[in-house]
Amino acid sequence: MKCRNLKAYKYELLEDEKFVCAIPKEISTGYAHIHNYIITAITRYAWNGITGWPKWLKEPKCSRRATLIHDAIYQMIKEGLLGMYWRKTADLIFKRICIEDGMWKWTAWLFYYIVRLFGGVLIRLKRIQKNK
C-alpha cells in the first residue's frame, strides 16, 4: 500500500486500495466505494491511523491498512450511509487485516476489544457534533 504522512491527518492514500468485506451494499462516496463485497478506498483518502496512539510512539506499520479500511467504514456509519450494526463487521475486518499484515494475534485481539469498547462512543459523539 502506498501512502504518505500528513500534518492534518496521519496518512494520505496514494493509490486505490481494495479489500474484501462482508457488506452486501452498493455505496459510492468521494473516498470509498462498496460493490459486490469489495470496498475500495480511493486515492487521496486521508485517515488518522490508530485513534489515541501516542505521538511519541511509532505506530505499527502492520496496522496501517487495517486503520484505513476501518476509518472508511466508520466514516460511512457516521454519515448515515451504513447502520451502526455494521460497526462489528468493521472491527472484525480491522482485526483480520492486522493479523494478515503481520501483527501478533494477541495484539490484534487487544486492539479489536479496544475498538469494540470505544468505537461506538466515538461514532455517536461525531454524529451529535454533526447534528449541532
CA geometry: angle 92, 95, 97, nearest 5 deg: 110
pLDDT tens digits, one per residue of 72-112? 999 999 899 999 999 999 999 999 999 999 999 999 999 99
- Amino acid in position 13: L
CA gap 33, 21 in Å, rounded: 11
Checking if the pLDDT of 54 tops 90, the result is no
CA gap 122, 114 in Å, rounded: 12
pLDDT tens digits, one per residue of 14-27? 999 999 999 999 99
Number of separate domains in the chain: 1
Check: CB of residue 67 under 8 Å from CB of residue 47: yes
pTM of the model: 0.86
Question: Where in the sequence is the domain holding 50, given as residue range(s)?
Answer: 3-131
Sheet (strand 38-41) strand order: 17-20, 38-41, 32-35, 27-28
Checking if the pLDDT of 129 tops 70, the result is no
Determine how β-strand 3-5 pairs with β-strand 11-13.
antiparallel
